[in-house]
A and B are shown apart, each in its own frame.
Chain A
Amino acid sequence: MSSAKPKSGTPGAGRRPARPGGVLLRFLVRRLAAALLLCVGITLVAFTLTQLVPGDPAAANLGQSAVDDPAAVAAFRAKYGLDQPVPVQYLTYIGNVFQGNLGVSQQSHRPVAEDLAEFVPATIELALFAIVLSLVVGVALGVVAAVNRDRWPDQVLRVVSLGGVSMPTFWVALVAFYLLSFKFDLLPGTGRLDPVLSPPPYTTGFYSVDAALAGQWDVMWSAIGHLVLPSLVLAVYTVGMLMRFSRASVLEILGNDYVRAARAKGLPERVVIVRHVLRPAMVAIITVAGVAFGSLLSGAVLVEKIFSWPGVGQYAYRSAVNLDLPGIMGVSIVVAAVYILINLLVDLLYGVIDPRIRLS
């Protein structure tokens, strides 16, 4: 008789279920507070990094001849506050950031916030398209592989996913571009829209959404058409990765007692898989999907370059090579904020999927 097994709660008496609404709200507030703190930390890191970068912004921006002119250098430093002590520079900076002022790009001579409002949505739109595509295809194939474990569909899909994660993105991009766009002309290859169309009025920065909001259907379809090829290329890797994780996660869940119990209830296998297996498996899958989304954001540079996609990757590259400090810091902060937002979303999804998380 094994009565020594640890158990939660007092035997014989059910604990009272807590009010789900209040608990969920507290969970949300806790997560938001943590996210905000993290954002402040990121401004500090971004700021410190720019302080550590060798190279003088004055020299980089004014040119070698002007550096010899102390008056010009002093004027430049005074204009951008570079003559102040470092902590003051940081406080000024963070104050500005919280007012939505990310400084003026020393390269485009426009406010960084304006630049980013244009470039960031382009990348997010692309990454979102790619991650949704990857989730749908990757999870579906992962489930198929898991329920057919070690039979031919599993073997075939193993090769497919290995191929997906092994092929370098730049190579996939070039081949896809050459075949699907240039050779057979199935999909538009470059840019966000047909050159004859003008962008829809700015609301979200996502052309597909903005066009739909404005009722410009031709613009919307063109925007979606232009998203397909680059997001397919981006999705090749993430589909392979999500397929492997989904397969592993589903296999792990399949071994649980509650799956056997679900089968013992005589439920159709489809219901067992979707309701009893996929739901707990999604906890691990969305964790990976969140990380994958982050890598899509930062990994899009190559794809953006090849498909002439005016995204934040290209902007970051230009800022970095020109030592455009406000640009670099702006990109860092916004990309980090998006990353944090995604993680917050993943955390919230945990709470939606697994009631034990919102109840603890």
Chain B
Amino acid sequence: MGTLLEVEDLTVWLATRNGPRKAVDGLSFRVDSGEVFGIAGESGSGKTMTAMALLGLLPHAARTGGRAVFEGRDLLAMKPRELRDVRGRSIAMVSQDPSTSLHPMLSIETQVTEHMRHHLGIGRSEARGRAVELLSTVRIPDPERALGAHPAQFSGGMRQRIAIAVALACEPRLLLADEPTTALDVTVQAGILRLLDRLRRERDLAVVVITHDLGVMSAVADRICVMYGGRTAEVGPRETVLTHPRHPYTRGLLDALPHPEGGAAALRPIPGSPPSLGAVPDGCPFHPRCAFAVDSCRVDRPEPVLIGSDHRLACPPDPLGESA
């Protein structure tokens, strides 16, 4: 599997009332073609801003630094026009809530076909034919009829399937799925995750799943990046990160998950709350909440270093390592 997207030292400054503040701070990761890469973190950790930066859809006054090389070209250095030709065609997005991301007043046909016709230059009837195929791929019953309908006529799960069909319309190489199941019922979530997994196998599609939900991660991701305060805490293969976490934050997140046999008593919350924009502490952003923090954590900015096969950790004291 080749590398499809290589993000190096991505930094995003957002304009705030008190001047520019880093929402993403020196993030690096790579996505191989055909894999599901998970970015995990609490709200405010910079997950969504990472996706928006890749698509060039950041708020007006935001600035970016670093590189994001996609199929040999740096997305961050592209002119708006060039980037527009990549958006929707080579990189597509599925957002959190399909009841707000689908246009309430446009027919399903318009929403599935408009960018197809724009990017691929195909006619109305050809686009319509493809749309019918797409809708049956994502298992919408009676696709012909669904084309004439509007989003309000579908349930939440169906809407997210339609949103996925919209994203797949131009056969993109990379799908950015920002909390794709958060707004859905638990019973529907599994169906959407299975769909994403099937699509990436059938279509050689790489998927970046952004979520705060480690349960979702363990279900679909091949590799996982855990973010905290706009920085990488730990990145590696799913098995390694979820079963042998080395960063105290990853450990804390896993301890905060309910266990099937543990009951409610087993839940252990992480003390404190994540830093807000512009109030990220010096040194390791997690140190004020970390039980293992030592003096150097307050001063030194930890960089991710290779600690195992494809496993990187940004925690020099490494209190959870074998040696400790």
Partners in one complex: yes
Whether B105 pairs with A356 at a CB distance below 8 angstroms is yes
CA distance A275 to B105 in the complex (A): 10
In the complex, what's the smallest C-beta–C-beta distance from A271 to chain B, in angstroms? 7
Whether A1 pairs with B186 at a CB distance below 8 angstroms is yes
Whether A264 pairs with B105 at a CB distance below 8 angstroms is no
- Please judge, given known A-B contacts A7-B155, A9-B155, A9-B156, whether A14 and B146 are in contact too, CB under 8 Å: yes
- Please judge, given known A-B contacts A14-B140, A17-B148, whether A265 and B157 are in contact too, CB under 8 Å: no
Whether A2 pairs with B182 at a CB distance below 8 angstroms is yes
A198 within 8 A of B: no
A13 within 8 A of B: yes
* 0/1 interface trace, chain B 20-42, chain A, CB 8 Å (1 if under): 00000000000000000000000
In the complex, what's the smallest C-beta–C-beta distance from B27 to chain A, in angstroms? 20
Whether A265 pairs with B115 at a CB distance below 8 angstroms is yes
Whether A280 pairs with B105 at a CB distance below 8 angstroms is yes
Whether A257 pairs with B95 at a CB distance below 8 angstroms is yes
In the complex, what's the smallest C-beta–C-beta distance from B157 to chain A, in angstroms? 5
Chain B residues 151-210 with CB under 8 Å of chain A are 152-158, 163, 166, 182-188, 191
- Please judge, given known A-B contacts A7-B156, A258-B101, A359-B153, whether A268 and B186 are in contact too, CB under 8 Å: no
- Please judge, given known A-B contacts A1-B215, A17-B148, whether A11 and B187 are in contact too, CB under 8 Å: yes
Q: Looking at chain A, what size class is its interface with the partner chain?
A: 35 or more
Select B185's contact among A11, A260, A261, A354, beta carbons within 8 Å. Answer: A11
A268 CB contacts on chain B under 8 angstroms: 84, 118
* 0/1 interface trace, chain B 253-294, chain A, CB 8 Å (1 if under): 000000000000000000000000000000000000000000
In the complex, what's the smallest C-beta–C-beta distance from B187 to chain A, in angstroms? 6
A7 CB contacts on chain B under 8 angstroms: 99, 155-156, 185
* 0/1 interface trace, chain B 205-246, chain A, CB 8 Å (1 if under): 000000001010000000000000000000000000000000
CA distance A355 to B182 in the complex (A): 27
Nearest chain-B residue to A150 (Cβ)?
Answer: B60
Whether A266 pairs with B84 at a CB distance below 8 angstroms is yes
B17 within 8 A of A: no
Select B85's contact among A8, A12, A266, A275, beta carbons within 8 Å. Answer: A266
A109 within 8 A of B: no
A256 within 8 A of B: yes
CA distance A19 to B97 in the complex (A): 27
In the complex, what's the smallest C-beta–C-beta distance from B165 to chain A, in angstroms? 12
Q: Count residues on chain B whose CB falls below 8 Å from chain A CBs.
A: 52
CA distance A101 to B105 in the complex (A): 44
B314 within 8 A of A: no
Select A279's contact among B89, B105, B187, beta carbons within 8 Å. Answer: B105
* 0/1 interface trace, chain A 262-285, chain B, CB 8 Å (1 if under): 111111100100011001100000
A99 within 8 A of B: no
- Please judge, given known A-B contacts A3-B186, A7-B185, A268-B118, whether A260 and B155 are in contact too, CB under 8 Å: no
B213 CB contacts on chain A under 8 angstroms: 1
CA distance A356 to B104 in the complex (A): 8
Whether A1 pairs with B100 at a CB distance below 8 angstroms is no
Could you name 27 residue pairs across A and B whose Cβ atoms are closer than 8 Å?
A: A1-B215, A2-B182, A7-B156, A8-B155, A9-B154, A10-B155, A11-B155, A11-B187, A14-B141, A15-B153, A15-B155, A17-B149, A257-B100, A257-B101, A258-B101, A261-B95, A261-B103, A261-B163, A262-B103, A264-B55, A264-B57, A264-B93, A266-B119, A267-B118, A268-B84, A279-B106, A356-B105
A10-B155, A265-B118, A276-B103 given; name 10 further pairs at CB < 8 Å.
Answer: A5-B183, A9-B156, A13-B155, A16-B153, A258-B103, A261-B102, A263-B87, A264-B92, A271-B114, A359-B152
